[in-house]
Amino acid sequence: MHSIELLPDEATERVVRRVWRSIADEGLPSQAGHRHPTNRPHLTLARADALPAATRAALAEALDALPLPLRLDGLLRFSGRSNVLAWAVRPDAALLTLHASVWRVLGESDDHGRSSPLLVPGRWIPHITLGRGRGAVWAGPAERWLPPGAAVSGRWAGARTYDSTSRTTARIGPDVS
């Protein structure tokens, strides 16, 4: 499975990593504990079974819209097989347009296969994962971990693909960091 992910600018990434660390410092499940070298703050736009060269090229063209504004604002909690604590990404028109463009490119590819229904335009809840764990609970208000004011503005500065089989990433689209 291949994910298409947006990457924040360096300053925003540092802020997210500080939040990861503050959660971990309390002994709670945090992305700071995920030691794989590909682990970094990101926003997943879509997933596909395969990304043939023509699809990668079309995705790179769609991602030429970068950089885009980024705004993180408030905590989200998801429950399911694993519980997730996340920082909400407030989508603007440009981000929603890029998301729809990525889905259009994948939809035109014969090899894209399936994606998570939670990532489909109209159902997508954009977020950056802060922590994940089976039965995990992060009690308390957002102020417990998020910086004062809780809202962070930055920009989506790049994009990558992540291959869950090989556990590798590849840059796609422009690098505007």
Tokens 């410092």, residue located: 25
Give me the pLDDT at residue 140, please: 80
CA-angle at 69, arms to 157 and 97, nearest 5°:
95
Bridge-based pairing of strands 68-78 and 43-48 is unpaired
Would you say residue 93 lies in a domain? yes
Does residue 40 sit within a domain? yes
Total domain count for the chain?
Answer: 1
Domain assignment of residue 154, given as a range: 2-171
Distances (CA, A) of 160 to 20, 63, 111, 163: 21, 10, 19, 10
CATH number of the domain at 57, please: 3.90.1140.10
DSSP 159-173: EEEEETTTTEEEE-S
Supply the pLDDT for residue 139.
86
In a domain, 106, yes or no: yes
Closest to 125 (Cα-Cα) out of 49, 20, 7, 44? 44
Across the range 56-75, mean pLDDT stands at: 94
Q: Give me the torsion for CA of 46, 47, 50, 54, rounded to 10°.
A: 0
Q: What average pLDDT score do residues 130-145 get?
A: 86
Q: What is the pLDDT of residues 86-116, one digit of tens each?
A: 999 999 999 999 999 999 998 887 665 566 6
